[in-house]
Structure 1
Amino acid sequence: MQPLSKRLVVNRRGSTVWDVRTPVGRFAVKLGYRSQSHAWTALAPAREAAILRQLNGTDDIHCGEWEEGTWSAQPWWEGQSLFEVWEPHRRSGVSTAPNLAEALSCATALADLHAAGWVHGDVQPNHFVMGPTRTALIDLALAQGGDVPQNYDFSYRGCLVHYEAPEISRSILETGIAAPTARADVYALGASFFISATGRRHVPYPDDASREEQRRAIVDSPHRPITVRSPLGPLIEQMMSRDPADRPTALEVCGALRNSS
């Protein structure tokens, strides 16, 4: 089918994403290929498509192979990322507290995924797309929880380090792989709230630090003081506890946000 239009949205680390309009709808088209540091990126689009089919039970998610990896096409989610929506809170001199209803919409999307038996493994602000009616949690290529075709599967080797929980970073440093968990997702959600509201990573390290140095800082250093105005601030503090057992579940985060509204 000949597209009506296409727009490059992402081009980095073994993946390109296109916004493609066709006569039958608008799609996010992803192309995966080997990057300099990762081979799994070539398989990521097809792996995500297999997960989305299980979660959504729909036939409008497509995938296949091309000469450098795999591709997928899925319905486009309209909206802005959490990081974009909370940009006003990062401006110098702005003292307004983040909108709790917006935070709740993100926590609800994560809680729904967990209730379906999956963990995301790559929670970050840009993966929450806040639309006119609800917030979608996208980019599930690293999710764990169900069957994935063996020829598209790969080991979990962490996510964008800015949002990794200490236990995930420690496992990557010690063994090269980790097991994503719902509690690690909650930590990442807290770190996503924090950076979206303040512009600061949860743990300080130089901008040019290697991934190993970033993970070592997360393992060895406490997170930054939570300066987000209450009532979200104390909740982020709980979500980013170094002990996974002390973190609330995503569903409990939803309850706390509803009670604070």
Structure 2
Amino acid sequence: MQPLGPEDPQVIGAYRLLGRLGAGGMGRVYLGRSAGGRTVAVKVVHPQFALDEQFRERFRREVAAVRRVTGDIRPDGRQWTAPVLDADPDAPVPWVATGYVAGPSLTEAVQDGGALPGPTVRALGAGLAEALVAVHALGLVHRDIKPSNVLLALDGPRLIDFGIARASDATAALTETGMSIGSPGYMAPEQILGAEVTGAVDVFSFGAVLAYAATGRPPFPGDNSAGLLYRVVHEPPVLGPELTGPLRALVESCLAKSPEARPPVTALAGVLAPAGGGARELVRTGWLPPAVLEEVGRRAVELLDLEPDGSPPGRTVADDPGYRAPSGARGTARPAAYVPQPPTQPARHPGGRDRQGRNRIVAGAAVAATLAAATAAALTLLPGDGDTPTTAKETAASDTSVPKDFLGTWAGDIRQSDGTPNGTMTAVVTPGTRGAYVVRTTYSALNVLECHSKAKLLSATATELDLEEVSDGTPTLGCTGTAARITFTLADGGRLAYASDDAGGGKPTATLTKNSG
């Protein structure tokens, strides 16, 4: 990430900008943060395009289409695309904000570390295939699948930057503004030739991306656009000996010159993922190689280390003696939090020391990633229920049940005890009596880490629930695993106040609003 320059805005819409993530032919992309602490990627189109009414109308249609795609949540709660959170196509300079994915692109991962291992390629392909199934089910075509538009996150790949067209009326490779939609070397032959664009163009690009991930090289080599376009149309792909077996056969079929000869998108995931489990099964126990996992962790630390005024970090948290891991952290399934300290105060934590004798930070996804890289294996935490001895308070409590006013789904932003934003939470409260697990909660931090917990009812009154929270057993990197005491209290305005004694999560609190129930 680069610092903001004098020509860059400080605020776009409701988002304070923190730095520049990149730029391309269509616009610039910034890292932003909402007032509630959510980190987003804000894409702003170049001013010259804002003056083109045909471009503005196409931008408006594409934002609406991507909202439909990213709003289609899978039954298991997982998406393989970055969700559109906000947009203003009618602003003087149009912009769109999506969920930020703190992971490298496929291009960056391959350039830094070479071809990806087979299990990673399988998970990558299965996730992208499921994303395309959702896109095509809406009658849409992505049109610009390439390595730089695939991000590698801790919990699976993400497909971004839709150059979306409707399959029914997309009949040319050039838009009204004269810009080619697609990337040389990854565009299908019919895109290059200006023929009808259907979902088969995405299948071709999908095959080219898988070939790149598995071999470390594009399937149509070349150093200029004209040569690349000619090879795509007239020459066979160069796949190399390392691509073998069913994966090679799948890639070859996807790269067929004729759209009719390519497999349907619904068949792609079935070749790569286990029956009944899909891509979720391939990513749940750790799918990234150590070097990529370490990069994900580095980016997560960089986000946490951003200064309160939005200036980009000069050093990582691990380099700063003014930061320490929370002492006495017990933790639950919640992500661990960073606790800033005065620079003169030495860090004290039983973790290892670096060459200057400073303690390494032990928290969240960053440590999980670094540890996994060091051991050359993905770390998966599988905590038990974490039952603790019954206290006197619990013994004295009567056999109470959850009052009906607590029942339903509640959501809100989490803050540490010092007021620092620490992600979001969604809690589902269900009926039950003392000793039953009556709350299931999902905690999300920085769009990087997602942790799941369950909470057992210890006591209840008409206005307060006292619970013991533990992990629900979902294997997740970077989530702590021991029990914590939490409370839910009915508050004014039909809201629910949440508090925890979990030092590992920064003793978080939240004010939740009811979504359903």
Shorter-normalised TM range: 0.7 to 0.9
C-alpha change, 1:141 and 1:218, in structure 2 (3 Å) is: closer
Residue 120 of structure 1, aligned match among 126, 132, 142: 142
Deviation at residue 159 of structure 1 after TM alignment = 0.6
For residues 37-93 of structure 1, give each alpha carbon's deviation from its aligned partner in whole angstroms, at most 9, with x where no partner exists: xx79964754432222333459932213455x42222332343333445567726xx
Q: Aligned partners of 2:84, 2:216: CA distance in 1, in Å?
A: 39
Q: Is the 8 A contact 2:30 2:41 kept in 1?
A: yes
C-alpha change, 1:51 and 1:2, in structure 2 (3 Å) is: closer
Alignment of 1:1-261 (within 5 A): 3-24=15-36, 25-33=38-46, 43=56, 46-57=60-71, 60-67=85-92, 69-85=93-109, 90=114, 96-97=117-118, 99=120, 100-145=122-167, 154=176, 157-171=180-194, 178-205=195-222, 207=223, 209=224, 211-227=225-241, 228-258=243-273
> Who is 1:174 aligned against?
none
Sequence identity, in percent? 25
Q: Aligned partners of 1:130, 1:143: CA distance in 2, in Å?
A: 25
More strand as a share of residues? 2
For residues 99-150 of structure 1, give each alpha carbon's deviation from its aligned partner in whole angstroms, at most 9, with x where no partner exists: 3123211221122211232110111122223333343321113333589xxx
Runs of 5+ unmatched residues, structure 2: 1-12, 72-82, 170-174, 276-281, 283-517
TM-score (norm 1): 0.76
Secondary structure of the structure 1 residue equivalent to 2:89: strand
Relative contact order, higher structure (CA 8 A, sep 6+) = 1
TM-score (norm 2): 0.41
Q: Aligned partners of 1:199, 1:40: CA distance in 2, in Å?
A: 40
Q: Aligned partners of 2:59, 2:20: CA distance in 1, in Å?
A: 16
C-alpha change, 1:108 and 1:20, in structure 2 (3 Å) is: same
Runs of 5+ unmatched residues, structure 1: 148-152, 172-177
Secondary structure of the structure 2 residue equivalent to 1:192: helix
Q: Aligned partners of 1:126, 1:132: CA distance in 2, in Å?
A: 17
Q: Aligned partners of 2:14, 2:68: CA distance in 1, in Å?
A: 28
Deviation at residue 98 of structure 1 after TM alignment = 5.0
More helix as a share of residues? 1
Q: Is the 8 A contact 1:106 1:135 kept in 2?
A: yes
For residues 151-195 of structure 1, give each alpha carbon's deviation from its aligned partner in whole angstroms, at most 9, with x where no partner exists: xx8477331112011222122xxxxxx543211101101101112
C-alpha change, 1:161 and 1:61, in structure 2 (3 Å) is: same
**RMSD after superposition:** 3.4
Amino acid at match of 1:31: V
Deviation at residue 232 of structure 1 after TM alignment = 1.5
Q: Is the 8 A contact 2:200 2:264 kept in 1?
A: yes
Q: Aligned partners of 1:59, 1:13: CA distance in 2, in Å?
A: 20
Amino acid at match of 1:163: Y
Secondary structure of the structure 2 residue equivalent to 1:60: strand
Q: Aligned partners of 1:41, 1:21: CA distance in 2, in Å?
A: 30
Q: Aligned partners of 2:29, 2:43: CA distance in 1, in Å?
A: 4
Q: Is the 8 A contact 2:84 2:99 kept in 1?
A: no
Q: Is the 8 A contact 2:42 2:98 kept in 1?
A: yes
Q: Is the 8 A contact 1:226 1:237 kept in 2?
A: no
With 242-251 and 77-86 compared, the bigger mean Cα shift is at 77-86
With 215-224 and 42-51 compared, the bigger mean Cα shift is at 42-51
With 57-66 and 250-259 compared, the bigger mean Cα shift is at 57-66
C-alpha change, 1:21 and 1:182, in structure 2 (3 Å) is: same
Q: Aligned partners of 2:22, 2:267: CA distance in 1, in Å?
A: 33
Amino acid at match of 1:188: S
- Deviant stretches of 4+, over 6 Å: none
Bigger CA radius of gyration:
2
Q: Is the 8 A contact 2:84 2:98 kept in 1?
A: no
- Aligned residue pairs, count: 241
